[in-house]
């Protein structure tokens, strides 16, 4: 495979293994239909979808890179840490996945209890068991159930008006844990959509620089500078910081199927050849890990 042949790519998407609506095999088919040269599946706290895509790929399919995403928090705020090209069999990455999954299940129970105690929202035992049977249940799964029961008119309303009011300030993987786990498993840790904080919080200017310096001390190696939701200013500021600190650059849509109004392949980057040195260095760094 020649790096220069990778022109269209999307390195941030989610399947039903976490909070997307497509099976991993459907993601592969849609990546093919979208004409992608390279894609990565970055499910939350999970690598099983990546293993399924590797098994499902056939000759002529787009190239594939293993990915993952950890939702992290510490005293400085909330961060989404992506990992690429890691060894899924490594003990370090598996330990972070197990910890993240445990926190996710703890938050699921806490959110269901909160909805019942605060608003009287109740669900059948069968539907509750269905939530706990999911690989990585999150707010979209609960919100969809709230729509089914008529408690809210839309998934977005359920998350914004109800689920976001329940906070878990300590039930998160810390960013240094995620970064260390990715690095020790041979992967590259990247900060997803860097200007986005918690909820609708935007982080720009000196605050973004300080946030980046905080994560660089733990070993962060890249920034997701091309992203479906970025304005031109957000993109330019992120690219400037990546160049200043010599970081890798990635591009992702954050596709979730029907759970988000995002199109697979929409990364705000039409051609990887136009991205500059940060993305080229990233692709070179993961060359031997691409399927």
Contact status, residue 240 vs residue 7, Cβ threshold 8 Å: no
Of 165, 192, 217, the one marking the end of a domain is 165
The pair of three-digit structure tokens given for residue 20, joined into one six-digit string: 């997307």
- Residues 207, 63 within the same domain: yes
- First CA to last CA distance, the chain: 9
- Residues 197, 285 within the same domain: yes
Cβ-in-10-Å burial (0-12, 13-18, 19+) of 155 comes to buried
- 109 to each of 173, 184, 224, 240, 265, how far by Cα in Å? 17, 31, 32, 42, 34
Give me the mean pLDDT over the 185-198 stretch. 95
CA proximity to 184, closest of 285, 289, 284, 83 = 83
Measured in degrees and rounded to the nearest 5, phi and psi for residue 19 equal: -115, 25
Residue-wise pLDDT for 25-40, tens only, equals 999 999 999 999 999 9
Q: Where are the beta strands (DSSP E) in the chain?
A: 9-10, 38-41, 63-74, 77-84, 188-191, 222-227, 248-252
- Residues 182, 266 within the same domain: yes
- Residues 10, 49 within the same domain: yes
- Residues 65, 189 within the same domain: yes
Our measurement of the distance from residue 93's CA atom to the centroid of its chain's CA atoms, rounded to an integer in Å, reads 15
**pLDDT bucket at 138, cuts 50 / 70 / 90:** confident
The parent domain of residue 105 ranges over 101-165
Residue-wise pLDDT for 38-91, tens only, equals 999 999 999 999 999 999 999 999 999 999 999 999 998 999 999 999 999 999
- Helices then strands (H, E): number in the chain? 10, 7
171 within domain boundaries: no
């Amino acid at each position: 495979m020649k790096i220069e042949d990778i022109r269209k790519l999307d390195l941030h998407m989610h399947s039903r293994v976490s909070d997307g609506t497509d099976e991993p095999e459907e993601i592969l088919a849609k990546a093919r239909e979208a004409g992608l040269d390279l894609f990565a599946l970055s499910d939350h706290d999970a690598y099983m979808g990546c293993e399924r895509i590797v098994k499902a790929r056939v000759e002529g399919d787009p190239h594939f890179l293993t990915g993952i995403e950890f939702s992290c928090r510490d005293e400085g705020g909330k961060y989404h840490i992506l990992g690429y090209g890691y060894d899924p069999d490594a003990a370090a990455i598996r330990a972070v996945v197990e910890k993240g999954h445990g926190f996710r299940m703890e938050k699921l129970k806490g959110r269901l209890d909160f909805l019942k105690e605060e608003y009287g929202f109740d669900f059948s035992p069968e539907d509750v068991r269905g939530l706990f049977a999911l690989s990585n249940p999150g707010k979209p799964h609960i919100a969809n159930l709230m729509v089914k029961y008529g408690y809210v008119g839309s998934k977005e309303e359920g998350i914004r008006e109800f689920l976001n009011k329940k906070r878990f300030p300590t039930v998160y993987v810390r960013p240094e844990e995620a970064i260390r786990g990715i690095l020790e498993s041979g992967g590259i840790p990247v900060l997803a959509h860097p200007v986005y904080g918690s909820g609708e919080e935007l982080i720009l200017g000196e605050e973004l620089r300080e946030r980046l310096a905080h994560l660089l001390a733990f070993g962060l190696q890249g920034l997701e500078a091309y992203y479906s939701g970025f304005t031109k200013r957000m993109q330019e500021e992120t690219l400037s910081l990546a160049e200043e600190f010599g970081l890798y650059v990635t591009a992702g849509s954050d596709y979730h199927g029907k759970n988000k109004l995002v199109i697979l392949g929409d990364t705000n980057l039409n051609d990887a050849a136009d991205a500059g040195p940060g993305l080229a260095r990233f692709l070179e760094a993961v060359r031997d890990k691409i399927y």
